[in-house]
Amino acid sequence: MRRILFLPVILIMALTSAFPESGKIITKSPIVILTFDDAVISQYKTVAPLLKKYHFGATFFICEFPLKKSVDSIQYMNWNQIKKLYQMGFEIGNHTGHHKNVTKLDKNQIMNELIFIEDKCKANGIPKPVSFAYPGNRTDSLSQVVLKEMGYRFARAGGSRCYNPTTDFSLLIPSYTMGSAQKLQLRTSKALENLKSGQILVLTIHGVPDVLHPAYSTSPDLFIHYLKFMHDHHFKVIALHDLGKIFEHTTNFTLK
Ligand SMILES: [Zn+2]
């Protein structure tokens, strides 16, 4: 009898003492999750050293592209560089083997795309990824089922809104796309300025800069401006898989 009464009380305490608005606690700081897509070389050369300087965590979502010109290969990281990111303490996530729109694939094809990156990770001493980012932010129920079956805990999509762990499925985590293009810049700046204590903002970032995809490029100056803003406002800046560690501290709360 006592046990039945006790558990709901703990649960209510865990939920209310946490996020004042959406429900759960974790930390008093606003939380930003940095995710970098497509294995762009500037993520290794520019982004990683800056993140280390600020002691920020991040997830790098890796895929391989069919290269249109041989010169394009210098625009992407090789697996030695990806391995170094892991050794620096960053999370390596799966972005499909070949940047495939998963909504056009059958179950086996999705599995093969996931396994392609898992095998490369294994060969390079990187743990099997637990985080995934949908290429082009395109998702459907089949891909979510396959991800769950294959042991993925977090999957990032688009949507330009904050992530609410009490209502959002952890394989359908919304994010804002960062970029120097005016529309992206306005959205990201506003989202960061409005981020409240305990809220979670996930950012999707491509190259800093991104030579091959200028529409999604973020200039190093703008990127540094955002890093300073997060640092000066005491934001907690983490990788996607760190969400698991945060929630493990809140008893009786499980991610959806
Ligand atoms: Zn991508």
Please report where in the chains the tokens 């300087």 appear, as a residue.
Answer: 53
Question: What one-character DSSP code corresponds to residue 55?
Answer: T
215-244 per-residue burial string, b: 16 or more CB within 10 A, e: under 16: ebbbeeebbeebbeebeeeebbbbbbbbbe
CA–CA gap between residue 75 and residue 186 (Å, rounded)? 27
Token couple for 235: 């934001």
Cα–ligand 1 centroid distance for 131 (angstroms): 14
Question: CATH number for the domain including 241?
Answer: 3.20.20.370
Q: Residue 26 pLDDT more than 50?
A: yes
CA nearest to 94, candidates 43, 66, 59, 65: 59
Cα–ligand 1 centroid distance for 99 (angstroms): 6
Domain tally, the chain: 1
Q: Is 239 inside a domain boundary?
A: yes
Q: Is 256 inside a domain boundary?
A: no
Query: Would you state the pLDDT for residue 12?
Result: 38
Cα–ligand 1 centroid distance for 254 (angstroms): 28
Cα–ligand 1 centroid distance for 62 (angstroms): 8
Cα–ligand 1 centroid distance for 95 (angstroms): 7
CA–CA gap between residue 256 and residue 239 (Å, rounded)? 18
Residue 216 neighbours by CB under 8 Å, 6+ apart: 177, 179, 181, 184, 206, 207, 210
Q: Is 77 inside a domain boundary?
A: yes
Cα–ligand 1 centroid distance for 137 (angstroms): 8
Q: Residue 52 forms beta bridges with which residues?
A: none
Instruction: Report residue 252's pLDDT band, with 50, 70 and 90 as the boundaries.
Output: low
Cα–ligand 1 centroid distance for 204 (angstroms): 9
- Parent domain of 124: 2-248
Query: Would you state the pLDDT for residue 66?
Result: 75
Cα–ligand 1 centroid distance for 133 (angstroms): 8
Cα–ligand 1 centroid distance for 38 (angstroms): 5
Cα–ligand 1 centroid distance for 54 (angstroms): 25
Q: Is 255 inside a domain boundary?
A: no
Q: Is 209 inside a domain boundary?
A: yes
Cα–ligand 1 centroid distance for 177 (angstroms): 11
pLDDT in tens, 199-244: 999 999 999 999 999 999 999 999 999 999 999 999 999 999 999 8
Please report where in the chains the tokens 């190259």 appear, as a residue.
Answer: 207
pLDDT in tens, 33-92: 999 999 999 999 999 999 999 999 999 999 998 777 766 778 999 999 999 999 999 999
Query: Would you state the pLDDT for residue 253?
Result: 60
Cα–ligand 1 centroid distance for 29 (angstroms): 29
Q: How many angstroms separate the Cα of 55 from the Cα of each of 133, 220, 230?
A: 23, 17, 11
